[in-house]
Amino acid sequence: PTDTGWQPRGKQVLNPKGIWYTAVTGIWQTVWLEVVPAQYIASLNLVPDIDQELLRVTVDAPAGLGVKIQAFFNGQTVAQSQGTSGSPIELSIANPKLWWPDEPNLYDLDVKLIKDGQAVDQVKSYFGMRKVSVEKDEHGINRLMLNGKFVFQLGPLDQGWWPDGLYTPATDEAMKYDIVMTKKFGMNMARKHVKYESDRWYYWCDKLGLLVWQDMPSGNVNRNEEGRANFRRELKAMIDARFNHPSIIMWVPFNEGWGQHDTCDVVKWIKEYDPNRVVNEASGWHDNGCGDISDMHKYPGPGVRPIEENRACVLGEFGGLGMPVPGHLWREQGSWGYVAYKDSQALTDAYVQLLAGVRMLIPEGLCAAVYTQTSDVEIEVNGLMTYDRAVIKIDVERAAEAARKLHLPPPVVKPLVPTSERDPQTWRFVLEQPSDDWFAPEFDDTTWKEGQGGFGTEGTPGAIVRTVWKTPDIWLRRSFELSEVPSQGELCLSIHHDEDAEVYINGVLVAATKGFLTNYTLLPLPKDKVRDVLKKGKNVLAVHCHQTGGGQYIDVGLKLSMEWHTFTEHLQRQYPPQGRVMICFP
């Protein structure tokens, strides 16, 4: 399949470049022939229900035949039931061992087809007892729940490409290796991107404990009615083929508007056909407000959409940090990535910094994040591993440690220098290039204009405009007082920028951001950049923002992020308890 037709084809194109790859021909998944009796079991439909402690089994076989089912755990029989083919059969699973990424409990299943008291066919399978849902947490925020518990999900955008077989891995071990490495990076999920794999890949996800967001392969399917109808047929075929895997928790019918059409109708059909999984209507770009998930893409990011009443918010793509490794490239010249780094340490530093930013967004409603990507693919060099999987580009231990922090209690964040998101803050500003020392703390800005933040144009997403700014550039300065310099915690920018911004504290460049955001975001500042920058008394915050087109906006503040145990120790030092002490948060 190629981009000349209307059929689903994922990233296959005739002229590969950038994020588009070589078209694949021939049989790329496993094919086998099986001898079966005249009356046989064609397939099973397995639906776990942890609330009712049972498994519903529907056996696809000639109508009216008997069915006997046994379930085993660690070789011991735990349940038995019987019924007829074509009708759901309930199998009671008392006190079920739930399936989790860190404890992927699987039950074995034995199914016999009975005619005239004799077994005429028999198949063996397995299942996992798990539940996925969107529910509110104790703060009223919608969360992506696994077995009734909020588990933050972090995983790679998994393209499923290999240099020696393109769509096809060379061996089963090669397929398993990607999943093993994903777990070693501290991740618990993978988004299988605009492709679906052979059953074996999902088997390893089930067995090793990796959650899966399953994309429908994209294409020019919205070109005509024939393409739309075929899309529905292939969507149903994909769901039917992979339905029984407990690792798959989410269906993603569209990505970034690629062939997107009839979105809410497609979502409604999926929800009715498989009500036991969540549906992400479209990962990135065109959001129609339906389904269970609100999904944004932000490179390099991170970012999150505003909290919604009925849907959970996720970051469907971010990162894309690139590093070409000579000798392990599809093409030695012309490699491509969203952001480029020269060595593993710099790449790891940037990756860890991104995950720190992700963690700051969890209290803002973020439930999951998908990093681009598992491995390099053709000329794309933004993988955690090279295309041949011979080189792991980042420090595995540091990556895993950064990932583990996503599962800790969210940090306590307190403002040091407020933004204008709630209350207007006064800045001095100019719209024409100032002198080269404009960001220095001793610079005289008394001739600059005064205005209230934020600065920008109405209609810019997430902007709270109090002073209109329409020119390509703006320079801002603002002073603030500190009664003491924080000795603990992590200093973060609270920033909303559209587009590129440079931020200085007391004359030191502490952040340079590219692109744009659609809401206020916390950006942790590298400790080596902010150490000894703040001082007791007067400090100066200076900002330059540049934009090239579309909306524009800038507003900046500072916040201090502290781990909960550090924060409580800080309070105890400041306010020694006299009898009972109650700490309340809004």
State the 10-residue block means of pLDDT for the chain, 586 residues long. Answer: 87 92 90 93 98 98 97 98 97 98 98 97 98 96 98 98 94 97 98 96 98 96 90 97 98 96 97 98 95 94 92 97 95 84 93 91 94 97 97 98 93 90 96 98 97 96 94 98 89 93 96 83 79 91 95 96 61 51 43
For residue 582, the model assigns a pLDDT of: 44
For residue 2, the model assigns a pLDDT of: 79
CB 17 within 8 A of CB 5: no
For residue 446, the model assigns a pLDDT of: 97
DSSP 526: P
The rounded distance, in Å, linking the Cα atoms of 423 and 338 is 35
Q: Where are the domains of the chain?
A: 43-127, 152-409, 414-569
Token output for 535: 């001082």
Contacts of 212 (CB under 8 A, 6+ apart): 189, 190, 191, 192, 202, 205, 245, 247, 248, 249, 250
Architecture of domain 43-127: Sandwich (2.60)
The rounded distance, in Å, linking the Cα atoms of 263 and 281 is 7
- The residue among 470, 420, 430, 301 whose CA lies nearest residue 370 is 301
Reply yes or no on domain 414-569 having CATH 3.40.720.10: no
Q: What is the pTM of this model?
A: 0.85
CB 344 within 8 A of CB 327: no
Identify the CATH number of the domain defined by range 152-409: 3.20.20.80
Q: Give the DSSP letter string of 220-289.
A: STTSSHHHHHHHHHHHHHHHHHHTT-TTEEEEE--BTTTT--SHHHHHHHHHHH-TTSEE-S-BSS---S
Q: Helix, strand, or coil here: 178? A: helix
Integer CA distances (angstroms), 191 to 39, 117, 514, in order: 38, 46, 26
